[in-house]
Amino acid sequence: MEARKENQEERASGNLGKIQLHKKTVLIPEMNRAAALFFAATFRGFGVEARALETYKGLDLGKEYTSGKECYPCQVTLGDILYFVQKEKERLGRAFDPGQYVYFLPESDGPCRFGLYNRFQRIVLDSFPGLDRLKISSITTRDGYSFSGILEKEKVLDFQKSGYFAVVVADIMDRLLWRIRPYEEKQGTADEFIESSLRKLEKTFEEHGPSKDFGEILDDVVQIIEEGKALIDSKIPPKPLIGIVGEIFLRTHVQSNQDIIRQLEKYGAEVVNASVAEWANYVSYDGLRSAKAQVRLNFKQMRFSPMWSKLKEMLGFGIDLYYKEHRQNQVYNRIQPVIDLIGDHKISHLEEILEENDLFSFDVATEACLSIASIISCARAGYNGMVNVYPFTCMPSTTTSAVVKPLMSELGTPYLDAPYDSGIQPGREAAIRTFMYQAEQHFRRHGRMKRTHSR
């Protein structure tokens, strides 16, 4: 434990870890476009120069500096930062100063390789002359993605609240797109409309994020939703409802998953992807859960000093989870009377589902526990098909696939595994088309879930 702490401190004082962003330009990798834009705008509102990185244009660079054994999101994000450096050097010439930038790359603790992306990318950046000065700043699941040590003390809490709000609103904007696009009167209008709305909301976040004026931000969101609703052609009947789960980067990053949502829509689906806020809520939930277990253990062993410290941790994670769920509900409660967007589930509900038949355990952590439970929850609620989207060889998603396949046959809900790397699989479109045929049959026989239901 002590050794790990020392390591963290060592890293923090170097060019990887909790690096202060003050007076630097922060580079935000894009996983979901809306969240990257809103997050960067929120940073700017708090006085930190920030910009979302262009994505996927540097994939060749990402592949050149990886061995092929790394997870696909690691290749994509590495490519994004290398591409940025290349372009910035071209733009600024000799004035390019790598020490002026901080690359923001969160990490996750646990059995997965996500915790190693930033270390690996550090090694790659260090191998280029001068790029050791381009620091990597990380927030980690270990402390519930706290920004302490990254921003000035007095800004930390406010930024965390505004940052989380940005993530929830980004989810809403994605859900709005998936709600409108399959029913748009004129093809292409939904995409255009959402892109221009994101740009509008960037300004809103920059202006109102620091004062946590969430009511003002929501007023703008509601106005956008009302305009977006007008693009729906009410004559188009409801379509089969397809749910997506899986590894967060792949299921969210449109370029990496070869725009699977659009592909499904092409064959007649209305799609709802798992939210990004789900992961943020899960991190707090998991922190609370582990702290509780430690409190119990220390109590049994009568180790009272560590027990108090774990109790404090438990309280911190508990408050954090309560805040997030409360804020998320508030946002959905405000927008659902305006448009019938499908809401989000509670993480505790997902754990209850797994416990019912001892299917899997939250003790294993990773996204498998979320995906397995979500698939079952959505299938029971009346989705017409479920898709598991993930990077080729992804450990948690392969586990998910193994556990849920037999269950989906029992439940009679069509299911598709969709693993991706940068290659084009010749049979992919046929698999999606066949899956959608099955989903259509399911829809005709059973109807579909009402949109007022949560995921």
Residue numbers at the binding site for ligand SF4 (CB under 6 A)? 71, 73, 112-114, 247, 367, 391, 394-396
Q: Which two tokens stand for residue 443?
A: 């829809």
Nearest Cα residue to 145 out of 40, 18, 31: 18
- Least CB distance from residue 111 to ligand SF4, whole Å? 8
In the bound complex, what is the minimum distance in angstroms from residue 108's beta carbon to ligand SF4?
8
Asked if 392 contacts 383 with a C-beta cutoff of 8 angstroms, the reply is no
- Angle, nearest 10°, between helix axes 277-300 and 347-356? 60
Q: Among residues 310, 345, 305, which one has the least CA distance to residue 325?
A: 345
Rounded Cα distance between 394 and 392, Å, is: 6
Q: How far is the CB of 113 from ligand SF4 (least distance, A)?
A: 4
DSSP, collapsed to helix, strand or coil, labels residue 273 as strand
DSSP string covering 321-338, please? Answer: HHHHHHHHHHHHHHHTTT
Q: Is 73 exposed, middle or buried (0-12, 13-18, 19+ CB in 10 A)?
A: buried
| Coil, strand or helix at 395 | helix
Return the number of the residue (74 or 295) whose C-beta is nearest ligand SF4: 74
Tokens of 242: 């397809």
Contact between 314 and 151 (Cβ < 8 Å): no
DSSP string, 281-319: HHHHHHHHHHHHHHHHHHHHTT-HHHHHHHHHHHHHHHH
Residue placing its CB nearer to ligand SF4 in the complex, 152 or 421 = 421
Smallest distance, Å, CB 387 to ligand SF4? 16
Nearer to ligand SF4, 190 or 370 (CB): 370
Cβ of residue 217: shortest distance to ligand SF4, in angstroms? 31
Give 46 or 72: the residue with its C-beta nearer to ligand SF4: 72
Residue 388 or 413 with smaller CB distance to ligand SF4: 388
Residue 73 or 182: the one with the smaller Cβ distance to ligand SF4 is: 73
Q: How far is the CB of 250 from ligand SF4 (least distance, A)?
A: 7
Which residue lies nearer to ligand SF4 by CB, 114 or 435? 114
Q: Give me the least distance between CB of 391 and ligand SF4, in Å please.
A: 4
> Can you tell me the distance from the alpha carbon of 217 to that of 205, in angstroms, rounded to the nearest whole number?
7
Q: Whole-number minimum distance, CB 302 to ligand SF4, in Å? A: 37
Our CB check for ligand SF4 shows the closer of 395 and 407 to be: 395
